[in-house]
Amino acid sequence: MKTQIISEGNISINVPLSDDTSNFLPSSAAVFYNPQTELNRDITTAVVSAFISYKELDPCSLLYADIMSATGIRGIRIATEVGLKCHMNDWSLAAYQLMQDNLRVNNLQAQCSVSHQNANTLMHQESFDIVDLDPFGSPAPYLDSSARCVRKLLCITATDTAPLCGAHLASGIRKYSAYPLNTEYHKEMGARILLGAAVRALALHDKGVKVLLTHATRHYVRSYLEIIQGASVADKTIEKMGYISHCFNCGFRQWHFGLVPGLEQECPNCHGPLNFAGPLWLGSIQDPGFCQVVLDQLDDRRPGKWKQAVKIVAFCQEEIDIPTYYDQHWLCKKQKISPGPIDELVSVLKKEGFASSRTHFSGTGFKTDASIVEIKKVLHRFL
């Protein structure tokens, strides 16, 4: 395999040489490498570092596992930039050999180890403080084994956004044992379906969760889950599972905690039929205090995608804790009025006494605790 040296963060590593960058498909190379996920890795480095200071942990005592490592870029960045011991794994022989080369290039042989195993076999045999699951596609086949082996922090990427968001319904149901709905807030729906599946997998191993940061960027969802050991914490975490009722006619939505809630069939607003999504995670998906520590880390480190990373995390920090968002354009189209600046709409809602924020999920989206009837009144007064 021909390789080239690239630099990212504080490291330089060998990656597969691409002859024609315009047609380069990361998944078709001998070893997977996607320069566009630098942003994802910049955020991960800041998050792992923030987690250590937030939880006042000793970095020398922590073992981070980059379970699907490909070139090793993620683990090598964590080892170099955060100083953790790392284990890197990939079932591809070419990836395994490239990871070994890259450890040598970065002089990390003493601090890092590599393996060449099926991710599930590895995660059923070993345990790690921090587990990073970064598959190409769905993480669903790895949720049980990662839930077993993780001690402190689980980082999950999902690139199967169509199944998660309800665009590929049967696949979403098969993978996540949940029913998604393709609403105007489908990106958040997808994140919550993924989190719901992760929470249930962790509960099986008597582990509870505090979700620290979740973002949907480009074609993937990424979430960071603090693990809290114990059956009673797992019980409390499961209590934050539930369902969303949604009316496609008027945009009404409601959420219900519990795995067997009684659900009304008719929309109380327009009397149209209600549709149901779930089971999914209804708990918080951002921890604003933690987001601040991540922002501080980003400011100290200034990685390559610093500005984009700050924008995402700052939006996540501001998001109010409501499990759906509204789309101003969708609402205005229904009302036959023209949309206005989203920031102004959010401040008008706040002035009217409602909680409201923008959301990182969508540039035209906003969150609020106002009901659909109240929002429509505000829109008419505002526009």
Compute the Cα dihedral for 66, 90, 305, 84 and give only its sign: positive
Which 127-166 positions form the footprint of ligand SAM (CB under 6 A)?
134-136
Q: Judged by CB under 6 A, does residue 51 bind ligand SAM?
A: no
249 binds, among Zn ion, ligand SAM, none (CB under 5 to 8 A by kind): Zn ion
74 binds, among ligand SAM, Zn ion, none (CB under 5 to 8 A by kind): ligand SAM
The residue range among 29-37, 203-211, 292-300, 366-374 that interacts with ligand SAM, by the rule CB under 6 A, is 29-37
| Beta-carbon contacts of residue 87 (< 8 Å; ≥ 6 apart) | 63, 64, 65, 66, 75, 112, 113, 114, 115, 126, 128
Binding-residue total with ligand SAM (CB under 6 A): 19
Q: Which residues bind Zn ion (CB under 5 A)?
A: 247, 249-250, 252, 267, 269-270, 272
Q: Judged by CB under 6 A, does residue 14 bind ligand SAM?
A: no
**Which of residues 164 and 349 has its CB atom nearest to ligand SAM in the complex?**
164
Which 272-291 positions form the footprint of ligand SAM (CB under 6 A)?
none
Which 297-356 positions form the footprint of ligand SAM (CB under 6 A)?
none
Q: Judged by CB under 6 A, does residue 86 bind ligand SAM?
A: no
**Which of residues 207 and 222 has its CB atom nearest to ligand SAM in the complex?**
222
Q: Judged by CB under 6 A, does residue 74 bind ligand SAM?
A: yes
The residue range among 30-38, 261-269, 270-278, 327-335 that interacts with ligand SAM, by the rule CB under 6 A, is 30-38
**Which of residues 37 and 362 has its CB atom nearest to ligand SAM in the complex?**
37
- Give the C-alpha separation, 128 to 109, whole Å: 18
231 binds, among Zn ion, ligand SAM, none (CB under 5 to 8 A by kind): none
Residue 81 C-beta: closest distance to Zn ion, Å: 50
Q: Judged by CB under 6 A, does residue 118 bind ligand SAM?
A: yes
Q: Which of 90, 184, 287, 319 binds ligand SAM (CB under 6 A)?
A: 90
Residue 103 C-beta: closest distance to ligand SAM, Å: 15
**Which of residues 69 and 297 has its CB atom nearest to ligand SAM in the complex?**
69
118 binds, among ligand SAM, Zn ion, none (CB under 5 to 8 A by kind): ligand SAM
Residue 363 C-beta: closest distance to ligand SAM, Å: 26
One-letter identity of residue 348 = V
100 binds, among ligand SAM, Zn ion, none (CB under 5 to 8 A by kind): none
**Which of residues 268 and 340 has its CB atom nearest to Zn ion in the complex?**
268
3-state secondary structure the chain: CCEEEEEECCEEEEEECCCCHHHCCHHHCCCCCCHHHHHHHHHHHHHHHHHHHHCCCCHHHCEEEECCCCCCHHHHHHHHHHCCEEEEECCCHHHHHHHHHHHHHCCCCCCEEEECCCHHHHHHHCCEEEEEECCCCCCHHHHHHHHHHEEEEEEEEECCHHHHHCCCHHHHHHHHCCECCCCCCHHHHHHHHHHHHHHHHHHHCCEEEEEEEEEEECCEEEEEEEEEECHHHHHHHHCCEEEEEECCCCCCEEEEECCCCCCCCECCCCCCECEEEEEEECCCCCCHHHHHHHHHHHHHHCCCCHHHHHHHHHHHHHCCCCCCCEEHHHHHHHHCCCCCCHHHHHHHHHHCCCCEEEECCEEEEEEECCCHHHHHHHHHHHC
Strands 112-115 and 85-89 turn out to be parallel
Q: Greatest CA span in the chain, whole angstroms?
A: 66
68 binds, among ligand SAM, Zn ion, none (CB under 5 to 8 A by kind): ligand SAM
Residue 367 in contact with residue 320, Cβ under 8 Å?
yes
272 binds, among Zn ion, ligand SAM, none (CB under 5 to 8 A by kind): Zn ion
The residue range among 91-99, 145-153, 217-225, 345-353 that interacts with ligand SAM, by the rule CB under 6 A, is 91-99
**Which of residues 222 and 376 has its CB atom nearest to ligand SAM in the complex?**
222
Binding site residues, ligand SAM, CB under 6 A: 32-33, 37, 41, 68-71, 73-74, 90-92, 95, 118-119, 134-136
